[in-house]
Amino acid sequence: MVERTCAACDCKLEDPVITVKIGGKTVEVCCEECAATLREAKTSVTAESRPAQSL
Ligand SMILES: [Zn+2]
């Protein structure tokens, strides 16, 4: 049996598990708070990793 952990806080996942889709990937988190945290983190990372092109 695979032990699943929350993608945000790394604690053990228990049913019901919340799944969040981020950038085409589906990750599992333990609660809505962690889901929101992940979404915000990924959103800011995506925004920052997109350099302004000077062409
Ligand atoms: Zn969590």
pTM: 0.67
How many folded domains does the chain comprise? 1
Rounded Cα distance, 36 and 48, in Å: 18
Domain enclosing residue 15, as ranges: 1-44
> Looking at the domain assignment, is residue 24 inside a domain?
yes
Q: For residue 10, how far is the Cα from the chain centroid?
A: 11
Whether 53 is covered by a domain: the verdict is no
Q: What is the pLDDT of residue 45?
A: 59
Kindly list the protein residues that place their beta carbon closer than 5 angstroms to ligand 1, a single-atom ion.
6, 8-9, 29-30, 34
**pLDDT score recorded for residue 16:** 85
CA 34 / ligand 1 centre spacing (Å): 5
Residue 32 lies in a domain: yes
Asked, for residue 50, whether it belongs to a domain, the answer is no
Furthest-apart CA atoms within the chain: distance in Å:
51
* Structural domain contains residue 49: no
Question: Measured in angstroms, how far is the CA atom of residue 8 from the centroid of ligand 1?
Answer: 5
Per mean pLDDT, which range of 26-30, 34-38, 46-50 is the poorest?
A: 46-50
Does any domain span residue 33?
yes
| Separation of CA 53 and ligand 1 centre (Å) | 36
What's the whole-number mean pLDDT along residues 26-38? Answer: 93
